[in-house]
Amino acid sequence: MANRKTTKIIIAVCVISLASVYLLYVAMSSSWTYYYSVDEFVETKTAITAQKSTVRADNINNRLVRLAGWVKEGTVKHNTGQRQLSFELAGLKHTIPVIFVGAVPKNFSADKEVVVEGRMDVNGTFQAEEILTRCESKYKVKLQN
C-alpha cells in the first residue's frame, strides 16, 4: 500500500515538473527573438547575398526578427480603410521599407524609435506583424536653476 502511494506521488511530481518546464519554455521562447539594428540587418543580408548562399538568404528572409530603428520623417502613410501602415525604418546608414497591417500603437509617430517584429519578403519590404513603441516617461527630471 505504501509503495503504491509513493509511486503515485512520484508520478504526480514528474507530471507537474514536466508541465512547469514546458510552460516556462513556451513563455521564454517568445522573448528569444534577436534584435537587429537596421544597419546590422542590412549589412548581414548584403554579406549573405554576396556569398550567394541561397540557404542562408532564405533563412534570413523567412526568419522572424525584430528590427530597431527610427521612423523616418515624411515616410509614414496610413491607409485607415485597410488598416495598413507603411513607413521607412531608418538606422544611421540604411533604411528599410516596412508594411504593417493592424492596430497602430497610440504613441506611434514619425521620428520616434520603434521596434518592429516580422519577416523580410522577397521584394525587400519588411512585413511587420507587431510594432513596439517606447513609452514617453511621465516622470522627467526637473532641472534646477
Convert the pLDDT of each residue in 26-49 to its tens digit: 776 656 656 789 999 988 877 776
With a cut of 70, say whether residue 53 has pLDDT above it: no
Whether the per-residue pLDDT at 4 is higher than 50: the answer is yes
Average pLDDT over residues 73-89: 90
**With 90 as the cut, is the pLDDT of residue 123 above it?**
no
Give the three-class secondary structure for 86: strand
Q: Around Cβ 24, how many Cβ atoms within 10 Å?
A: 10
Of all residues in the chain, the percent with pLDDT exceeding 70 is 79
Average model confidence (pLDDT) across the chain: 82
For the chain, what percent of residues have pLDDT higher than 90? 41
C-alpha cell at 104: 497602430
Residue keyed to cell 516617461: 137
Q: Which residues contact 29 (CB under 8 A, 6 or more apart)?
A: none
CA distance readout (Å), 113 to 30, 39, 69, 75, 78? 21, 14, 6, 14, 18
User: What span, in angstroms and rounded, lies between the C-alpha atoms of 87 and 75?
Assistant: 5
Q: The pTM is what?
A: 0.66
pLDDT classification of 55: cutoffs 50, 70, 90: very low
